Amino acid sequence: MYVNILFLTSALLTVGCAVAMLIARNIMHSCIFLLGTLIGIAGLYVTLGADFVAVTQTMVYVGGIVILMLFAVMLTGGKEFVSRAQKLLGLIPAMGNKWSFGIAFLTSFVFVLSQFVLIKNIVKGVEVTKEAKPFVSTVEEIGELLLTDHVLAFELSSVLLLGALIGAAIIARPRKERVAND
Protein backbone atom coordinates (compact mmCIF):
# COMPACT_ATOMS: atom_id res chain seq x y z
CA MET A 1 0.00 0.00 0.00
CA TYR A 2 2.80 2.43 0.87
CA VAL A 3 4.41 1.66 -2.47
CA ASN A 4 1.15 2.70 -4.09
CA ILE A 5 1.17 5.99 -2.19
CA LEU A 6 4.76 6.62 -3.28
CA PHE A 7 3.86 5.74 -6.86
CA LEU A 8 0.87 8.08 -6.91
CA THR A 9 2.81 10.99 -5.38
CA SER A 10 5.76 10.52 -7.74
CA ALA A 11 3.54 10.15 -10.80
CA LEU A 12 1.57 13.27 -9.90
CA LEU A 13 4.80 15.21 -9.27
CA THR A 14 6.30 14.02 -12.54
CA VAL A 15 3.34 14.71 -14.79
CA GLY A 16 2.22 17.87 -12.99
CA CYS A 17 5.64 19.45 -13.14
CA ALA A 18 6.06 18.43 -16.78
CA VAL A 19 2.78 20.13 -17.69
CA ALA A 20 3.81 23.17 -15.66
CA MET A 21 7.08 23.24 -17.62
CA LEU A 22 5.09 23.45 -20.81
CA ILE A 23 2.84 26.22 -19.54
CA ALA A 24 5.38 28.36 -17.69
CA ARG A 25 6.20 31.60 -19.52
CA ASN A 26 9.40 32.15 -17.61
CA ILE A 27 12.20 29.84 -18.69
CA MET A 28 13.69 29.98 -15.17
CA HIS A 29 10.45 28.54 -13.77
CA SER A 30 10.56 25.85 -16.46
CA CYS A 31 13.98 24.81 -15.16
CA ILE A 32 12.64 24.53 -11.61
CA PHE A 33 9.69 22.46 -12.79
CA LEU A 34 12.20 20.24 -14.60
CA LEU A 35 13.77 19.69 -11.17
CA GLY A 36 10.38 18.54 -9.83
CA THR A 37 9.89 16.21 -12.78
CA LEU A 38 13.32 14.66 -12.32
CA ILE A 39 12.77 14.08 -8.59
CA GLY A 40 9.40 12.52 -9.42
CA ILE A 41 11.08 10.18 -11.89
CA ALA A 42 13.61 9.23 -9.20
CA GLY A 43 10.63 8.32 -7.00
CA LEU A 44 9.21 6.19 -9.80
CA TYR A 45 12.57 4.39 -10.05
CA VAL A 46 12.32 3.65 -6.33
CA THR A 47 8.89 2.06 -6.81
CA LEU A 48 10.47 -0.08 -9.54
CA GLY A 49 13.13 -1.32 -7.12
CA ALA A 50 15.93 0.48 -8.95
CA ASP A 51 17.69 2.09 -5.99
CA PHE A 52 21.03 2.79 -7.66
CA VAL A 53 19.46 4.31 -10.77
CA ALA A 54 17.20 6.51 -8.61
CA VAL A 55 20.11 7.93 -6.65
CA THR A 56 22.23 8.38 -9.77
CA GLN A 57 19.32 10.24 -11.35
CA THR A 58 19.12 12.59 -8.36
CA MET A 59 22.89 13.06 -8.23
CA VAL A 60 23.48 13.79 -11.92
CA TYR A 61 20.37 15.85 -12.60
CA VAL A 62 19.84 17.79 -9.38
CA GLY A 63 23.49 18.38 -8.61
CA GLY A 64 24.67 18.86 -12.16
CA ILE A 65 22.32 19.39 -15.05
CA VAL A 66 19.67 21.57 -13.38
CA ILE A 67 22.29 23.92 -11.93
CA LEU A 68 23.99 24.05 -15.36
CA MET A 69 20.65 24.90 -16.96
CA LEU A 70 20.01 27.63 -14.39
CA PHE A 71 23.47 29.06 -15.05
CA ALA A 72 22.90 28.98 -18.80
CA VAL A 73 19.52 30.72 -18.49
CA MET A 74 21.02 33.40 -16.29
CA LEU A 75 24.02 33.98 -18.55
CA THR A 76 21.83 34.22 -21.65
CA GLY A 77 19.50 36.94 -20.45
CA GLY A 78 17.33 35.08 -17.97
CA LYS A 79 13.68 35.87 -17.98
CA GLU A 80 13.98 38.74 -20.46
CA PHE A 81 13.40 36.15 -23.11
CA VAL A 82 9.69 35.72 -22.48
CA SER A 83 7.72 35.01 -25.58
CA ARG A 84 4.55 37.03 -25.30
CA ALA A 85 3.69 37.33 -28.95
CA GLN A 86 2.99 33.69 -29.65
CA LYS A 87 0.59 31.80 -27.51
CA LEU A 88 -1.27 28.58 -27.97
CA LEU A 89 -4.86 28.68 -26.66
CA GLY A 90 -3.84 31.82 -24.76
CA LEU A 91 -1.87 29.62 -22.40
CA ILE A 92 1.20 27.89 -23.75
CA PRO A 93 3.98 30.06 -25.13
CA ALA A 94 4.57 28.48 -28.49
CA MET A 95 4.85 29.16 -32.18
CA GLY A 96 2.11 27.88 -34.41
CA ASN A 97 -1.61 27.99 -33.66
CA LYS A 98 -4.14 25.49 -32.42
CA TRP A 99 -4.75 24.10 -35.90
CA SER A 100 -1.13 23.26 -36.59
CA PHE A 101 -0.82 21.71 -33.14
CA GLY A 102 -4.06 19.78 -33.55
CA ILE A 103 -2.85 18.33 -36.83
CA ALA A 104 0.54 17.50 -35.30
CA PHE A 105 -1.03 15.70 -32.36
CA LEU A 106 -3.40 13.78 -34.62
CA THR A 107 -0.53 12.71 -36.84
CA SER A 108 1.61 11.62 -33.92
CA PHE A 109 -1.36 9.76 -32.42
CA VAL A 110 -1.88 7.82 -35.66
CA PHE A 111 1.86 7.18 -35.83
CA VAL A 112 2.01 5.84 -32.25
CA LEU A 113 -1.08 3.71 -32.82
CA SER A 114 0.43 2.14 -35.94
CA GLN A 115 3.65 1.48 -34.01
CA PHE A 116 1.62 -0.27 -31.30
CA VAL A 117 -0.07 -2.47 -33.89
CA LEU A 118 3.32 -3.28 -35.44
CA ILE A 119 5.03 -4.26 -32.19
CA LYS A 120 1.96 -5.88 -30.61
CA ASN A 121 3.03 -9.37 -31.59
CA ILE A 122 6.53 -8.84 -30.26
CA VAL A 123 5.20 -7.54 -26.95
CA LYS A 124 2.78 -10.45 -26.68
CA GLY A 125 5.68 -12.86 -26.64
CA VAL A 126 7.13 -11.15 -23.56
CA GLU A 127 5.91 -12.49 -20.27
CA VAL A 128 4.80 -9.70 -17.95
CA THR A 129 5.06 -10.44 -14.26
CA LYS A 130 2.23 -9.05 -12.17
CA GLU A 131 3.27 -9.66 -8.58
CA ALA A 132 5.95 -7.60 -6.90
CA LYS A 133 9.37 -9.16 -6.67
CA PRO A 134 10.99 -9.03 -3.25
CA PHE A 135 13.27 -6.02 -3.03
CA VAL A 136 16.93 -6.84 -3.45
CA SER A 137 19.83 -4.45 -3.69
CA THR A 138 20.93 -3.85 -7.25
CA VAL A 139 24.26 -2.23 -6.43
CA GLU A 140 26.43 -5.34 -6.49
CA GLU A 141 24.72 -6.69 -9.59
CA ILE A 142 25.12 -3.41 -11.50
CA GLY A 143 28.76 -3.23 -10.47
CA GLU A 144 29.44 -6.73 -11.77
CA LEU A 145 27.52 -6.21 -15.01
CA LEU A 146 29.29 -2.92 -15.72
CA LEU A 147 32.70 -4.56 -15.50
CA THR A 148 31.84 -7.81 -17.29
CA ASP A 149 29.03 -7.79 -19.86
CA HIS A 150 28.88 -4.06 -20.51
CA VAL A 151 32.54 -3.19 -20.07
CA LEU A 152 32.88 -1.88 -23.64
CA ALA A 153 29.95 0.51 -23.24
CA PHE A 154 31.33 1.55 -19.86
CA GLU A 155 34.73 2.44 -21.29
CA LEU A 156 33.16 4.15 -24.30
CA SER A 157 30.99 6.27 -22.01
CA SER A 158 34.09 7.37 -20.10
CA VAL A 159 35.71 8.40 -23.38
CA LEU A 160 32.48 10.21 -24.29
CA LEU A 161 32.51 12.09 -20.99
CA LEU A 162 36.15 13.07 -21.47
CA GLY A 163 35.34 14.32 -24.95
CA ALA A 164 32.35 16.26 -23.66
CA LEU A 165 34.46 17.80 -20.89
CA ILE A 166 37.17 18.99 -23.25
CA GLY A 167 34.67 20.05 -25.89
CA ALA A 168 32.60 22.10 -23.46
CA ALA A 169 35.73 23.75 -22.05
CA ILE A 170 36.99 24.66 -25.52
CA ILE A 171 33.65 25.92 -26.83
CA ALA A 172 32.78 28.03 -23.81
CA ARG A 173 36.19 29.64 -23.30
CA PRO A 174 36.32 33.37 -23.87
CA ARG A 175 37.71 34.37 -27.26
CA LYS A 176 40.60 36.67 -26.60
CA GLU A 177 41.51 37.51 -30.21
CA ARG A 178 37.96 38.72 -30.96
CA VAL A 179 38.01 41.05 -28.01
CA ALA A 180 41.32 42.44 -29.22
CA ASN A 181 39.86 43.11 -32.69
CA ASP A 182 36.76 44.84 -31.37
Partner 1 sequence: MNTTIAEYFLSFDVFRSFVSRISLWLGTDVTPFIVFMIFLLGALVITLVLATVGGFGTYAERKISADIQARIGPNRVGPYGLFQLIADGIKMVSKEDIAPKTADLFLFYLAPFLAIFGVFSTFAVIPFGSGITLTDLNVGVFYLVAISSLVGVGVFLGGYASNSKWSMLGGMRGASQIISYEIPVTLSILAMVLLSGGMSFGQIVGSQGAFPHQWFLFHNPFSFIAFFVLFTGALAETNRAPFDLPEAESELVSGYHTEYTGMRFGLFALAEYVEVFVVSGVAVSLFLGGYNVPGEEFGHSLAGQGAQATVFFLKTCALYYVVIWIRWTFPRLRVDQLMVICWKYLTPIAIFNLVGCAVWLVVFDGKSMFELFFHH
Partner 2 sequence: MISLVSYLAISLLLFFIGLTLMIARKNIVAILLGIELILNAAALNFVAYSRFAASNIDGHIFSLFVIVIAAAEAAVGLAIVIHYFQLKETIHIDEATELRN
C-alpha span between 168 and 115 (Å, rounded): 37
Counting contacts by CB under 8 A, is residue 112 touching partner 2? Answer: yes
Q: Among residues 150, 132, 143, 141, which one has the least CA distance to residue 46?
A: 132
- List the one residue from 29, 36, 56, 62 that touches partner 2 (CB under 8 A): 56
Question: Which residues are within 8 A (CB) of 98 and not within 5 positions of it... i.e. 6 or more apart?
Answer: 88, 89
The residue type found at 122 is: I
- Measured from the CB atom, the residue of 82 and 110 that comes closer to partner 1 is 82
Residue 157 contacts which entry, partner 2, partner 1, none (Cβ below 5-8 A, type-dependent): partner 2
Residue 25 contacts which entry, partner 2, partner 1, none (Cβ below 5-8 A, type-dependent): none
How distant, in Å, are the alpha carbons of 17, 41, 155, 171 from that of 55?
20, 11, 21, 30
Count the Cβ atoms, other than its own, within 10 Å of residue 28.
14
Counting contacts by CB under 8 A, is residue 70 touching partner 1? Answer: yes
- How many chain residues touch partner 2 (CB under 8 A)? 79
Residue 139 contacts which entry, partner 2, partner 1, none (Cβ below 5-8 A, type-dependent): partner 1
Backbone φ and ψ for 92, nearest 5 degrees, come out as -95, 125
- List the one residue from 2, 122, 159, 172 that touches partner 1 (CB under 8 A): 2
List binders of partner 1 among 22-41 (CB under 8 A): 26, 28-29, 32, 35
Kind plus residue range of the DSSP H or E element containing 92: strand 92-93
Counting contacts by CB under 8 A, is residue 137 touching partner 1? Answer: yes
Residue 171 contacts which entry, partner 2, partner 1, none (Cβ below 5-8 A, type-dependent): partner 2
Residue 78 contacts which entry, partner 2, partner 1, none (Cβ below 5-8 A, type-dependent): partner 1
List binders of partner 1 among 78-117 (CB under 8 A): 78-79
Backbone φ and ψ for 150, nearest 5 degrees, come out as -105, 30
What does the angle CA 80 – CA 91 – CA 25 come to, to the nearest 5 degrees?
20
- List the one residue from 127, 152, 176, 177 that touches partner 2 (CB under 8 A): 127
Counting contacts by CB under 8 A, is residue 51 touching partner 1? Answer: yes
